[in-house]
A and B are shown apart, each in its own frame.
Chain A
Amino acid sequence: MKGSEPDLSAATYQIYDESHTIGNALRWMLMKNPKVEFCGYSAPHPSENTIQVRIQMYDNLSSLTALIDALSALDTLCETVDEAYKTSLKEDAYERWVERS
């Protein structure tokens, strides 16, 4: 979008068909990156199904690479949670009960 540096060290990305679900998680993961100076997102209008993610980098690094790294990191995070869940479900002793409707 408008307002980006030619070297993409600062840029706003518009993501279609996504909402706070991805926006907030992605913002958190980008902020975990020490090379990111600023990261924020907004859902500009409730009836438009888009979000806008603003990323500004230190040292003129590319915000697009940071974005891709954050997406990969989130994916490994999801994988870790998934594995932990399946292990717990298989191995842990937990209460089983019958719920009547």
Chain B
Amino acid sequence: MPSRNAVDPRRLVGVHAERITHISSTDYPGHYPDEDNSWNLEKFQENLQLKVQRLSQRSIEFDLVGVDASIANAFRRILMAEVPTVAIEHVYVWDNTSVIQDEVLAHRIGLVPFNIDPALVDMRDAVSQATDRNTIVFKLQVLCERNKNVPKGSKNPAELFINHEVLSSHLVWEPAGEQAVVFAANPPAPTNPNIVLAKLRPGQAVDMELHAVKGVGKDHAKFSAVATASYRLLPHINIKKPIPPELAEKFQNCFVPGVINVDPYTKEVTVDEHNVRKDTVTREVLRHPEFSDMVELSRIRDHFLFNIESEGAYAPERLLPEAIQIMRDKLATLKKAAEALLHSDDAPAEEDVQMAD
């Protein structure tokens, strides 16, 4: 029984028991005789499908169909490494008598995600001064004390002591210059107030000044705008021959629940076209010799199931447009450089041509 919506076999990456086949795309000019596979914008616009599947306040899932892996991968790489966010970069320690060393505590503080919109902050380079446009200052002042009114016999540190933990909610924003106005609607603060940064005991204190700057994930992972950004290919299951009714249940159990439907009366086996995306392609079915000539597993090469989780400044639905904009900025810079090269000298020198950005 052929699958109901048959997929062009050229789009499939074959998944076999011990190997995968047809991994690379073949839609290049000259690959197939008498076929034009050159870049065609109209054809691309026609084939492109982009559909949001799920959206929550911290993650988004969408399908991107009809683009090459190199494009999907470029977006994924930009999301992780090049979408800027604001994180704490400079830590000035006035006092730290906790058991956590200064540098370890500074590192932990650097990893705290903030709700600061990166569009409101300028990038600061290594040599420039801190200004109210490129730096946001926080104070962290926590002193642990004994609690005078402890319930008798209590062993709970939360009752015995005041401030026995340094939490991300202890970070206090210090507005500088015009920041009080710019950030009035959304005062800078950690997105999660319950991150434990250090533990204290009575008499121990932490007193620090923290400077947050804008940066990108390729510099340090703390600047990464996403918690994860990943894609996988849509699984495709082709049932070549009807599955015998007595084996229907065994066949169904080889897949993730919901992927295979078995008709309760006729025991006819079908692939659930909506739930097939849930399949993890475990190849369990290929371990059973009785199914060997009945089923073909594959993935669709140009059907990407994206999953992006945001942890911080950007709403999840804002992330992809930001990544695309960064990609387009990069392309514009390159194009400008290439055009300058084209007009600079029509006869290239024997030596390398050097271009500044």
Contacts and interface: CB of A to CB of B under 8 A. Distances in A.
Interface of A: 1-2, 4, 6, 8, 11, 13-22, 24-25, 27-29, 31-34, 64-65, 67-68, 71-82, 84-89, 92, 94-99, 101
B50 interface: yes
A24 B41 CA distance: 19
B357 interface: yes
B68 A28 contact: yes
Given A82-B324, A88-B52, A99-B58, A6 B29 contact: no
Contacts of B36: 34
Interface of B: 28-30, 36-39, 41, 44-45, 48-59, 62, 64, 67-68, 70-71, 73-75, 77-78, 81-82, 192, 317, 320-321, 324-325, 327-328, 330-332, 334-335, 338-339, 341-342, 347-348, 352, 357
Given A1-B352, A81-B324, A27 B70 contact: yes
A80 B43 CA distance: 12
B331 A74 contact: yes
Contacts, number: 143
16 contacts: A6-B347, A16-B357, A21-B73, A21-B77, A22-B74, A25-B73, A28-B71, A73-B41, A74-B331, A75-B331, A75-B335, A79-B328, A88-B62, A92-B51, A97-B56, A101-B192
Contacts of B39: 29, 32-33, 73
Contact of B56 (A1, A6, A64, A99): A99
Contacts of B59: 99
A95 B55 contact: yes
Q: Nearest 7 CB-CB pairs, A to B?
A: A34-B29, A32-B39, A84-B50, A99-B56, A24-B70, A28-B70, A71-B335
Given A19-B77, A94-B52, 6 more contacts: A1-B352, A22-B330, A25-B74, A27-B70, A77-B44, A94-B55
Instruction: Pick from A31, A76, A84 the residue with the most CB of B within 10 Å.
Output: A31
Contact of B331 (A2, A27, A71, A80): A71
Contact of B342 (A18, A68, A72, A95): A68
A27 B69 CA distance: 12
A8 B54 contact: no
A8 B342 CA distance: 10
A21 to B, nearest CB: 4
Contacts of A17: 357
Contacts of A89: 52, 317
A80 B67 CA distance: 11
A25 to B, nearest CB: 5
A15 to B, nearest CB: 7
Given A67-B338, A77-B71, A95 B332 contact: no
A80 B71 contact: no
A74 to B, nearest CB: 6
